Amino acid sequence: MSERDYRPLIATAVASIVGTVAVLSYYGYLHIAKPSDALLLADYTMLKTIPGEDYKVSLKPAEQVAQCLDGIVVLFDTKQKGLTGVLVDNKKRAVRCDFIAP
């Protein structure tokens, strides 16, 4: 019996996998998460509104914009495009939202 040389087959398989990962990463379909991706982006505080009392806020808007997606508050950063996050409390529970139609 003749023995087959599997080295070209293995090299082709490895090159195909490396090429596929490189193309997926280049076009943005593959993102390798870094520990810095999960860091705290900013601190938030809720201002309780009491009828008849004044409260002061800055005229300068925050660098994040919030949207309600699937019942959860999602923040989009306006300075760093593509940076998004879920608003959570101090116990890492997602802040929920209700969409109220006008």
Is the domain of 57 the same as that of 89?
A: yes
Is the domain of 63 the same as that of 91?
A: yes
Q: For residue range 20-75, what is the model confidence (pLDDT) as tens digits?
A: 999 998 988 887 777 666 656 667 777 788 888 888 888 898 888 888 888 898 88
Q: 25 lies in which domain range?
A: 1-32
Which pLDDT score is estimated for 41? 61
Q: Which residue is listed with tokens 């593959």? A: 30
Is the domain of 26 the same as that of 50?
A: no
Is the domain of 20 the same as that of 50?
A: no
pTM for the predicted model, two decimal places: 0.50
Is the domain of 65 the same as that of 101?
A: yes
What is the chain's alpha carbon radius of gyration, rounded to the nearest angstrom?
24
Neighbours of 72 (CB within 10 A): 14
Is the domain of 47 the same as that of 90?
A: yes
Strands, DSSP E only, in the chain? 64-69, 72-77, 84-86
Q: Is the pLDDT of residue 88 over 80?
A: yes
Nearest alpha-carbon partner for 37 in 91, 72, 82: 82
DSSP H helical ranges for 1-102 = 7-26
Per the structure, the count of domains in the chain is: 2
Q: Is the pLDDT of residue 101 over 60?
A: no
At 99, which amino acid appears? F
